[in-house]
Amino acid sequence: MSDRAFSGLDPDAIEARIRGSIRFAGDVTVAGMLHAALVRSPAPAGRLRSVDAAAAAALAGVVRVVTAADLASLGLADDRFGTILPDQPIFAADRVRHLGEPVAAVVAETEAVARAAVDLVRVAIDAEDPLLEPDAALAPGAPLLHEDRPGNVLGRWGFSHGDLAAAEAATVRRFVGEYHSPAAQQVTFEPQVCVARWEGRTLEVWAATQSPSRVAAELARVFGIDPSAVRLHVPPLGGGYGAKNHAKIEPLAVALAALVGRPVRLANRRAEEFVTTTKHPARVRIESGVDSDGRFTFRRASIHWSAGAYAHSSPAVMRAGGLAVCGPYRIPAAEVESVMAYTNLPPAGSFRGLGANQATWAGESQVDEIARALGDDPVEFRRRNVVRPGDRLATGERVDDAHWLECLDRVAATIEIPASSDTTGARRGTGVALAMKHTMTPSRSEAVVAALSDGTIEVRSSLVDMGQGLRTVLSQAAARALDVPPETIRIVDPDTAVTPFDSTTSSSRGAWAGTLAVGRAAQALRQLLEAAGAVALEAPPEAIRLADGRIALAELPPGSAPTGPTIAELVATSGAPELSAHAVAVNDAPVDPESGVAASASHWHQAAVAVTVDVDPDTGMVAIREVHGAAWAGRVIDAGRARLQNEGGAIWGIGGALFEELEFPAGYPSATTLLGYRIPSIRDVPSVLATHALETPGGAGEPTGLGESVIPAVAPAVGAAVADATGLRLRRLPMTPERVARALAAETDGPWPEADPGGAPDRLPATPATGPLPPPTSPVDLELVVDGRSVRVRTDPLRPLRDVLAEDLGIRSVRGVCGVGVCGSCTVLVDGRAIRSCLRPVGLSIGARIQTAEGLPEGDAVRDAFVASGAAQCGYCIPGTVLATHDLLARDPSPDDEAIRQGLSGNLCRCGTYGRILEAVRAAAGRPNAESDS
Amino acid sequence: MGELFVAPTLAAAVERLAADPGARPIAGGVGVMLARALGLPRAERWVGIGALPELRQRAIHVPTGALVLGAGLTVEALADRDAGPPAPRLLAAAAGDVANPGIRVVATIGGNVVARGSASDLVAALVALATEAEVISATGTRRLPVEDLCGAEPLESGALIRAFHVPAGKLRWGWQRLSIRGAMDRSSASVAVTAGERGVRIVATCISDRPLRFPNAEHALATALHAGSAGDALAGVRAAAVLDLASADLLDDDRVSGAYRRRVLPALVERAARQALARA
């Protein structure tokens, strides 16, 4: 069968996400399960004097309050966890190192009781001055966060290559700049969540993690049990983006379950997410030289990262950023130092675009500065310097699979933009940037492909489906190798008792690893089946082939159908419950035969981005009008999913360029809700967002993954466009209106004061990290009409309708993501109108007709349009968007695109599925959709 | 323990609020629920008024010609031109910028004014339209300018807003709003301009703890309109706005600084004035 026969979406997985029938880790319930909530440090740094839990322990429904002292009874092999570097205590014992660090936990019969009890725990801390910046933490004499980490240095990575002295001698122009990237938050709509259960010395865990094998191994290590005694299940994820890449709350849940002797569920609230994992803030200093021909002579770079209090993925980020900072250019001499410092901020972890975002913001911004300073065209400058196949990167390593020039050429053709016709005085500019991000090297993926007695082909892999199209990738890899219809393939969700080892579903490696490992296992199974078939047909193995699920002679007479045994019959004949094969895919770094040096990455994620912006000189608003992105895909397996990955990446980049920022004044987060932390809405998507996935001709390439490729290039392309429009260079992200306006004003009026001189009121207080529970009102009996059924509930009439629907009535598609009316994931129809059920008191919904996504009738035209359009990635938000579309089309059956954007402006999708959502709504409204360009 | 009493009539609501000084009215519930979600102080006893038809009137008052908008009308309804006498387009424009469609469909005008006060987009438009609020309590009814509802305690215990009275008259208007994200973002500055028979009003909200008027800019625009030199007067309006802001206390918050607001407001005033002039 041809590849084309396998192209398309995995309809079952997509449909379940759109219907809201999919079950995430947070939906798991286990018999006898208790609920835990964490007591978190109210200070960013200090000595933990006492934890007074007496009042909490006395609250009805509380089973136990746990502190670090209780862990001694568990006989842990290590009281610190960390998949790469174990430095994080399960509970803070004697000191706290960041705001929100867990210092205790309450385990109770219900989550509400656990939360209420948390507010009764009194934590006494002798606060210390927090170290908030890497430079302060690295300064001589700075107090140490970890006694065993001198100088607060978590790690250093770097390289020096080439003859720097000679390179400097050849330099005619020298450029120096310092660039800043802020902390940010991944904002997975599904929060960190884990259920843990012990049976003697056997541990079973259900977790929202991108790395089942790695987390299971870490739990075995910390709790001193054999790895085979840990069984970790991973239901489909409601968003990952790196946030779920390492152990986060899993060790806590496991410890609590051990201490209370019952299963325990632990889930973060939204505010807790902001103190659990973030993106690394970074300061990047770069010095570059060019010769008289406008070619790079050298680059020096120094990156200081803030790791926060614990390592998580910091060593990987430090290396990834160090590798990316010189970009895909022929730079004959380079010296890079990448230093990761411990600070008193929440731990920074993996973030979509890992490390390359911060480095590329700096590196590509400076490339643009150099080109403009030389009077050169930024595209031509890049064409002159970019590596081509066989060239060497700044590290000195040879790269043969280089496609940056193709990516650049693809987007460069788009940036001949007509002058602005805007009459408001907006200044228009264009910008371009390249991105180079390594892939995790080495890494390992194993797969088992099994033929079952009913003829089903089962694919067992610990790669995690989060809506990125992984199930399609795995299914197609197996179907292609075995020459069976995709509908005979069943993908098993990761379950470490069943699915074999896999390094992680991150670093955009899933498509590559899945294709290779599953393809190899399926090929091995094919050989096994053909060997069995040869016996059955009494023919030599070389005369046998498997086709369309049945054994046949390899050379059949023309027009005759295969007549040998089917796969099911072969399995039955074998006497075994299944016939299976196992295979491994490892991406070791290739070694350069000339230098003997191993490459930094088995392959590079490669992309180019071009943007057009309008800058309002009065307000500093940057409006992105067009984004064109081209990324190297190697081979596209599923064109629809590839486009979603690329578009989602571009939208992710827009957020980072314009408004995503998490500050920590005095160590306290500037935002703990989605009111204060902004992620892109459908109205932030430019009217022109065109992405291209470039392939090796003839489909001969290996799929390289697209989940992150364009992201690092977006912000520097926007920065270049702002510079083109205004002549100003911004070196600090994000490019908020105020930051742009300040830069513009500084050119003419000098800098503004940071604080307003007019006697401004104090800065508004940050929302508390965990707010107290509202006082309950008297429970009353309420009758609701939900999905056409009358139901009775006894509850607090001021309780959010969402909570009643999801928690009391079990309608899980009504997701609670933000809880403050921002995201729209909890949308339901009340008397036909789409409302936020998180902000609707249930007591005001009596007598109303409440419609949820799960209750929509079969054949619902809007939902069917979403399914047909494949308008979902992780799917956490989509049921709400389907209902918002119902409301929109009921009032305006033929909305134009602006009306759709307006109507869905309050339904956020962190995966960035907006283009596909637009198409689905158009389809539901009976409008044609243009062909995709991807 | 708290409670929710859903009032069957306006009279019953007023009676209940009078009898229980700790009780507060609740209509769409957006502000109340948001406060709960954020762990902010709130009342424990509530009187539901969202379904009361008396608060959903939409009529022309005779003989003044003023438009009467029930405080229980939803924010979305302000943009509905088929449900009765249409609201001024300025008010509809401001309403269209409130939160998101899923909130506008349940949030009420009265709730928005009381809960958001000087941080409300609607308040800028209502004040620019010289709107009065009709407040009812057990002691009777009274009228007060909308800007008087923007203090820390907008209404005394036992009171609720019954309606808003928007004076009649043909107006030119302009509306400007600044936010960081393209949608679902609180305003960093909202500016409403009206120019009509009763003069010029320029009002900004979301910038301070009170709605801010721009008397110098209003005078500059009015003078220019009177002299028929409006097209040339915009630079003067902007300069006057700078003067108006000289002594204003502007808010530093989690969106932008007061210094930024001071910088951009004159431009927003000029743009809103330009829109008003274009609507001649």
Nearest alpha-carbon partner for B150 in B209, B91, B213: B209
Q: φ, ψ for residue A763 (rounded to 5)? A: -55, 140
Q: Name the residue among B40, B249, B260 with its Cβ closest to that of A761.
A: B249
Please check whether residue A231 is in contact with residue A203, taking contact to mean a CB–CB distance below 8 angstroms. Answer: yes
**Which residues 395-434 of chain A have a CB within 8 Å of chain B?**
424
List the single residue in B with minimal CA-CA distance to A840. B29
List chain B residues with CB under 8 Å of A879: none
Interface size between A and B, measured as CB pairs under 8 A: 216
**pTM score:** 0.95
Supply φ then ψ for residue B23, to 5 degrees.
-85, 150
Q: Is residue B12 a contact partner of residue A817, using CB atoms and an 8 Å limit?
A: no
Q: Which residue has the tokens 């590596």?
A: A387
Whether the Cβ atoms of residue B231 and residue B210 lie closer than 8 Å to each other: no
- Token pair of A350 as six digits: 């993996």
Q: Which residues of A touch B250 (CB under 8 A)?
A: 756, 758, 760
Question: What pLDDT, on a 0 to 100 scale, did the predictor assign at position A559?
Answer: 73
Residue of B nearest to A822 (CA): B184
Which pLDDT score is estimated for A423? 58
Supply the Cα-derived Rg of chain A in whole angstroms.
28
Residue with tokens 């690092």: A712
Give CA–CA dist A710/B61, Å, rounded: 59
Q: Which of A627, A905, A914 to probe by mutation at the B interface, max B CB count within 10 Å?
A: A905
Whole-number CA gyration radius for chain B: 19
Distances (CA, A) of B147 to A401, A924, B118: 66, 44, 8
Whether the per-residue pLDDT at B61 is higher than 90: the answer is no
User: A504-508, A592-596, A866-870, B177-181: which has the minimum mean pLDDT?
Assistant: A592-596
pLDDT digits (tens, 9 = 90+) for A302-325: 999 999 999 999 999 999 999 999
Question: Which H, E and C letters describe A20-76, residue by residue?
Answer: CCCCCHHHCCCCCCEEEEEEECCCCCEEEEEEECHHHHHCCCEEEEEEHHHHHHHCC
Q: Which residues, 6 or more positions from B203, have their beta carbon under 8 angstroms from its beta carbon?
A: B124, B125, B127, B128, B191, B192, B193, B211, B212, B213, B214
Q: Is A840 on the interface with B (CB under 8 A)?
A: yes
* Integer Cα distance of A244 and A618 in angstroms: 41
User: Does residue A4 carry a pLDDT above 50?
Assistant: no
Tell me the one-letter amino acid at A750: G
Nearest C-alpha in A relative to B43: A775
Q: Which of B36, B256, B267 faces A738 most closely, judged by CB atoms?
A: B256
Per the listing, tokens 């290039």 go with A713
The 8-class DSSP code of residue A574 comes to H
Is residue A680's pLDDT more than 70?
yes
Nearest to A74 by CA among A95, A98, A91, A57: A91
Minimal C-alpha gap between B206 and chain A (Å): 13
Would you say A693 and A631 are in contact if contact means Cβ atoms under 8 Å apart? yes
Q: Which two tokens stand for residue B220?
A: 């500059």
pLDDT at residue A749 in the model: 74
Give residue A416's pLDDT band: very low, low, confident or very high (50, 70, 90).
Answer: low
Query: Contact B260/A774, CB-based, under 8 Å?
Result: no
Per-residue pLDDT band at B40 (split at 50, 70, 90): confident
Residue A851, pLDDT score? 98
Residue B103's φ and ψ, nearest 5 degrees, are -95, -40
Hey, of A668, A683, A844, A897, which one would you mutate to test binding to chain B, going by the most B CBs within 10 A of its CB?
A844
Exposed/middle/buried for A388, CB within 10 Å: 0-12, 13-18, 19+? middle
Say what angle helices B258-278 and A737-749 make with each other, to 10 degrees.
90
Nearest residue to A320 via CA among A718, A733, A708: A708
Instruction: Spell out a b/e string for A176-208, using b for 16 or more CB atoms within 10 Å of the CB, else e.
Output: ebebebbbbbbbbbbbbbbbbbbeeeebbbbbb
Beta bridge partners of B58: B69
Angle at CA of residue A808, ends A805 and A813, nearest 5°: 40
Per-residue pLDDT at A698: 85
User: C-alpha angle A690/A691/A692, rounded to 5°?
Assistant: 130
Give the mean pLDDT of A844-860. Answer: 95
Longest dimension (CA), chain B: 64
Instruction: Tell me which residue of A351, A317, A286, A322 sits closest to A662, measured CA to CA.
Output: A351
The pLDDT tens digits of the residues spanning A268-277 come to 999 999 999 9
Q: What type of residue sits at position A866?
A: F
Residue tagged 């008191």 (tokens): A841
State both tokens at B74.
């939803």
pLDDT number for residue A419: 56
pLDDT digits (tens, 9 = 90+) for A684-743: 999 999 999 999 998 888 888 899 999 999 999 999 999 999 999 999 999 999 999 999
Helix (H, G, I), strand (E, B) or coil at A324: helix
pLDDT band for position B85 (cuts 50, 70, 90): confident
pLDDT band with cut points at 50, 70 and 90 for residue A507: confident
Tell me which residue in B45, B247, B252 faces A763 most closely, judged by beta carbons.
B252
Q: Which tokens hold the place of A604?
A: 């590079």
Q: Who among B44, B100, B250 is closest to A775 (CB)?
A: B44
- A56-83 in b/e burial notation, b at 16+ Cβ within 10 A? beebeebbbbbbbebbeebebeebebbb
DSSP state of A355: T
Amino acid identity of B106? V
Q: What is the mean pLDDT of residues B186-199?
A: 95
Q: What is the tens place of the pLDDT at every residue in A532-579?
A: 999 988 888 888 999 888 998 887 777 777 678 999 999 999 999 999
Min CA distance, A194 vs chain B (Å)? 23
Cα dist from A519 to A137, A452, A461, A568, A581, whole Å: 48, 18, 12, 20, 11
Is A360 in a helix, a strand, or coil?
helix
Q: Which residues pair with A418 in a beta bridge?
A: none
* Best mutation target, A424, A619, A654, A683, to test chain B (most B CBs within 10 A): A619
Q: Which of A659, A764, A835 sits opposite B181 (nearest CB)?
A: A659
Determine if the peptide bond prior to A442 is cis (ω within 30°): yes
Separation of alpha carbons A810 and A819, rounded Å: 18
Candidates A777, A781, A839, partner chain B, best to mutate (most B CBs within 10 A): A839
Distance CA A885, CA B51 (A): 25
Instruction: Give, in order, the Cα–Cα distances in Å from A683 to each of A625, A709, A912, A914, B100.
Output: 11, 23, 11, 9, 12
Residues 6+ apart with CB under 8 A from B86: B92
Which helix or strand (DSSP H or E) is residue B51 part of? none
To the nearest 10°, the Cα dihedral for A905, A909, A914, A920?
-90
Look at residue B124 and tell me whether its pLDDT is greater than 90: yes
- In chain B, the DSSP E strands lie at 3-6, 23-26, 45-48, 58-60, 67-70, 132-137, 140-145, 160-166, 171-178, 189-196, 199-205, 212-213
Q: How far is CA A216 from the centre of its chain?
A: 20
Confidence tier at A3 by pLDDT (50, 70, 90): very low
Q: In A, residues 678-717, which contact B (CB 8 Å cutoff)?
A: 678, 680-684
Amino acid at A186: Q
Give pLDDT tens digits for A38-49.
Answer: 999 999 999 999
Which residue(s) pair with B175 in the sheet?
A: B192
Read off the tokens for B248. 């204003």
pLDDT score at B43: 78
Mutate to test the interface with A, among B74, B184, B209 (most CBs of A within 10 A): B184
- Beta-carbon separation of B37 and A839 below 8 A: yes
Q: Which helix (H) or strand (E) holds A198?
A: strand A193-199
Question: Among A13-22, A201-210, A753-762, A899-908, where is mean pLDDT lowest?
Answer: A753-762
Contact at 8 Å (CB) between A299 and A394? yes
Please give the angle made by the CA atoms of A617, A621 and A623, to the nearest 5 degrees.
Answer: 110
Joined tokens for residue B14: 């007023």
10 Å Cβ neighbour count for A390?
A: 9
Query: pLDDT-derived band of residue A777, with 50, 70 and 90 as boundaries?
Result: low
Compute the nearest-CA separation of B164 from chain A (Å).
24
Q: How many other β-carbons are positioned within 10 Å of the β-carbon of residue B227?
A: 10
* pLDDT tens column, A330-380: 999 999 999 999 999 999 999 999 999 999 999 999 999 999 999 999 999
How far is it, in rounded angstroms, from Cα A511 to Cα A516?
A: 8
* Chain A residues closer than 8 Å to B97 by CB: none
* DSSP structural state of residue A575: T
Position A769 pLDDT exceeds 50 = no
Determine the pLDDT at residue B117: 94
CA gap A360, A435 in Å, rounded: 7
Return the residue matching tokens 């938050």. Answer: A185
Q: What is the mean pLDDT of residues A195-209?
A: 97
Q: Is B161 helix (H, G, I), strand (E, B) or coil?
A: strand
> A904: nearest CA in chain B?
B101
CB-CB contact of A316 with A377 (8 Å): no
Among A160-164, A760-764, A915-919, name the one with the lowest average pLDDT.
Answer: A760-764
Task: Give A767's contacts in chain B (Cβ within 8 Å).
Answer: 38-39
Cα distance between residue A558 and residue B62, in whole Å: 92
Quote the minimal CA–CA distance from A235 to chain B in Å. 29
List pLDDT tens digits, range A218-259: 999 999 999 999 999 999 999 999 999 999 999 999 999 999
